[in-house]
Amino acid sequence: MFEDDCLIGKFNYKEKIMKNIALIIFVILVCNFASAQSSDEMIKQAANAYKNEEYEKAVRIYKQILDKNIESPELYYNLGNSYYRLGKLGYAVLYFEKALKLDPDDEDTKYNLMISQARTIDKIQPLPQLWIWEWWDSVAASFSIYGWSAVVILFYILFLAAIGFYLITGNFRLRKISFYAGVLLIPVLILVSLMMISKINKETSVDYGVLTESIYTVKVTPGETANDAFVLHEGVKFSLGKSLDNWTEIKLADGKVGWIPQSVFGKI
């Protein structure tokens, strides 16, 4: 009798745990659903504010959505448009860049970024490169990381198909065609793989920022009392280097290097 009671107790204990787990999952789902509804409603409010030319209100609502750890290319795009309407080019460029980082192929974002950059004061001329590297960077920029991954997978499948067809076909002519197709696909597969690796290295190994202050004098070393290096205006994009306290080393496309406080730029 005692053993039966123990078995019943164990069963009731497990059943209680399962009910608690089910309750927790239910609560999480309800909270996520409520959060999604809340975010959708906030997006509608921000869109209406933008439509009514209440750009500061639109920015405030979009920033509140970002505070919920929600991000999307559309959200960054709309936030960039709102800042552009307010005349804050630095923030407009920053959020257009953030949108392109998530969706590099969006033509509207590319166009609005180009318009915003055209209005910036500083026109940074990149250091000259050999034509082969310019061509390489141009081709690598034509697809996102996911795009190049898809291209690599496609050519890899084609290569495997050529090998498979060569092994299973009994027709001499078709074997010859599949053999040469496989041979030709090898350098192509290597090339697109290198393009993908180059794209990954460029986007993951280097961080970029955009100056959001209207104007700032870059310092030679960290600290407001350090010597001046050069002056930048809002909207300039630069690569980020090492950091010290609240200061970060930056490098412009033309090779200039200096230090700025982290409060005057936004990280892409």
Side-chain-side CA neighbours of residue 217 (13 Å): 8
The pLDDT assigned to 2 comes to 41
Residue ranges per domain, the chain?
2-118, 131-204, 207-267
Bridge pairing between strands 207-211 and 265-267: antiparallel
Does domain 2-118 fall under CATH 1.25.40.10? My reply is yes
Q: Give Cα separations from 50 to 40, 66, 230, 236, 243 (angstroms).
A: 15, 17, 36, 26, 37
**Model confidence over 206-241: pLDDT tens digits?**
899 999 999 999 999 999 999 999 999 999 999 999
Radius of gyration in angstroms for the set of CA atoms belonging to the chain, rounded to a whole number: 27
CA max distance for the chain:
89
- Count other C-beta atoms under 10 Å from residue 26's C-beta: 10
193: Cβ contacts below 8 Å, ≥ 6 apart: 152
Which letter does DSSP use for residue 206 in this model?
-
Right CATH number for 207-267 from 2.30.30.40, 2.40.160.210, 2.70.180.20, 3.40.50.1100?
Answer: 2.30.30.40
Using DSSP, state whether 19 is helix, strand or coil.
helix
**pLDDT band of 34, cuts 50, 70, 90:** very low
The pLDDT assigned to 49 comes to 94
Percent of the chain topping pLDDT 90: 62
